[in-house]
Chains A and B, each alone.
Chain A
Amino acid sequence: MTCPSCASDFSVYSFYTNPSEWSGEEDNDLGLYVCDSCGGEVTASKKGTTATCPYCDSKLTLTGRLSGKKRPDYIVPFEIDLDKAASLFRKHLSDKELLPDAFKDEAHLLKCRRVYLPFFVFSTDVKVEYELLQPSGDSYIRVDGKGLFSFNHLPVDACKSMPNLITEAIEPFDFSKAMPFSPSYLTDCNAEIYDDSTDTCIKIATKRMAKGIMNKLKEYYNGINSPSLFGNVTRIALEDNDVKYAFFPVWILSTRWKKKNYIFALNGQTGKIVSQLPCDDGKAGMKFLKRFLLVFGIGLLASAILWFILL
């Protein structure tokens, strides 16, 4: 069995518990749907919003799952199509000389998927109290202060299956181009429903805001004092917090190599790509050897010339 999200391979037997009855968890995770084209029954995970009919290969948009709180307020439409995405992936991979060849396979590049990822978008005023320490001779000068900052459309990934490290790395998304959500945007797309709790997302947002505020404070005080300033935000409070639930467009290409999953993510709006790619040790060894021989050869040649000139 292969996971449609991350391309991980599993044995069917790894899910085997007791065929005679469903566990409650399994029952909650699965939904039964009817294909609009052929009437066949389709079983699909409740986390996704799309499924493929096993009988007629039609793509189903499971809009029923996007009702109530699960329905996003906004959606930022894709601005990059498959060809452009494949081209960007190709360009991104072209200068990665130590990348295993399996990642550069053209057919594989065309398997990248359009996915709408769920984000909570925070627009809020933030009041902070901070304590900064500035080295001065053998001691420090403490700078205490209060500040008010205003954040606009800070996104926080609400999907557990995508690492926040990656979703934060493909930012920013231009929220000014967000449209009120309509299921029609999900045609031929996968979409994930948020599964991170709002509290978790608020914590992550607060942490990111504190980090951003610290950077701004350092920038602010460095204009007056020295650059070796450090410290932390001692108190942070969100005021007039406006949280929107939105779908952001991401092209995802998952590749499995040496029993490990590697995810490429491409911002479907700006084309920014991030990846954590493996290194082909054989290629790395050859590159090292070639460069070593080249430089050593030049070094010997230079030495010979110097011997000839100086001795």
Chain B
Amino acid sequence: MKKIIVFILIAVQLLLSGYTLPPIVYKNYESSEPVHDFAGIFSDPVYIESYLGRTYFDDEHDWLELSVYSYRHDEDYQYLIGELKERGIEFIALLIKVDADGNYLDYRIEYRSGGHDAIPDQDELYEYYLEAKPFLESGDYVKAVRTFFSSVKKHLSKYDIVYKQQEEARKEQYEQKVKESEKKATVITIVLPIFFALFLALGLAWAYTAKLKKQLDTVQDGLDPDYYIDRDKILVNYTSTDD
């Protein structure tokens, strides 16, 4: 009887284990590289205008800084800053030296990034500067900045396509994993309990039949011969020795 109870307990535990195994589904998946139209930021004239409106003029060096900083805590730039941070860019700045009349004299490009592939290198930035140079020389700084960052935008757009493709591949991979994990989860939560129900049924049926078979043989319940010993006349003396 004890064996049967233990057997049932194990089987029930195994049966329940089908429901208590950790889920394999990747429910906490998060996209590692969200896709945004990063370059679109630079094509928005509003940003550019406000960007120019907040230019920093260095009196000492006569540098007009047309820059975008990711570490600025400026409400107007929060979205832009966030996007730059996502790209690992700390800042990209186009600095222009002007004379007292505001005429263009020189330029400098400064940027700092976390080594992201999407960031243009020095040569590429120079190339973009050259595209903007005619507008700088003509004093049309707004157009110059637009041209410069438009080039940066184009540069980044190429990478956005790559990012999108990578993201698509990641999503596909993720969906495949989800499908596989759901399949496994189905096996665990459906097949396993069925298997253990089968195991339990086989075990109990076997135990039941064995019990019925045992009933057929009653000879083993023979009388123990100590029944005939006179309990009042037992004399036992013993000596013990350690072996």
Contacts and interface: CB of A to CB of B under 8 A. Distances in A.
B226 A145 contact: no
A296 B219 contact: no
Which of A144, A274, A303 has the most chain B CB atoms inside 10 A of its CB?
A303
B19 A291 contact: no
Interface string B10-39: 000001101100000000000000000000
B212 interface: yes
Nearest to B233: A150
B197 A300 contact: yes
Contacts of B216: 96, 98-99, 275-279
B21 to A, nearest CB: 12
Interface stretch (A55-63, A67-75, A215-223, A253-261): A215-223
Contacts of B197: 295-296, 299-300, 302-303
Contacts of A277: 216-217
B221 A299 contact: no
B213 A98 contact: yes
Interface string A91-105: 000011111000000
A221 B213 CA distance: 36
Given A144-B239, A168-B222, A276-B217, A291 B198 contact: no
A185 interface: no
A295 B213 contact: no
Given A99-B216, A165-B222, A208-B225, A284 B243 contact: no
Interface residues of B, number: 48
Contacts of A142: 240-243
A76 to B, nearest CB: 15
Given A291-B204, A291-B205, A306-B19, A148 B226 contact: no
A227 B99 CA distance: 109
Contact of A152 (B230, B236, B237): B230
Given A151-B228, A152-B230, 20 more contacts: A141-B240, A142-B240, A142-B243, A143-B238, A145-B236, A145-B239, A152-B229, A165-B219, A168-B222, A172-B223, A215-B226, A216-B229, A216-B234, A274-B219, A275-B219, A276-B218, A279-B216, A288-B208, A289-B205, A307-B193
5 nearest CB pairs, A to B: A299-B197, A145-B238, A212-B225, A296-B201, A212-B226
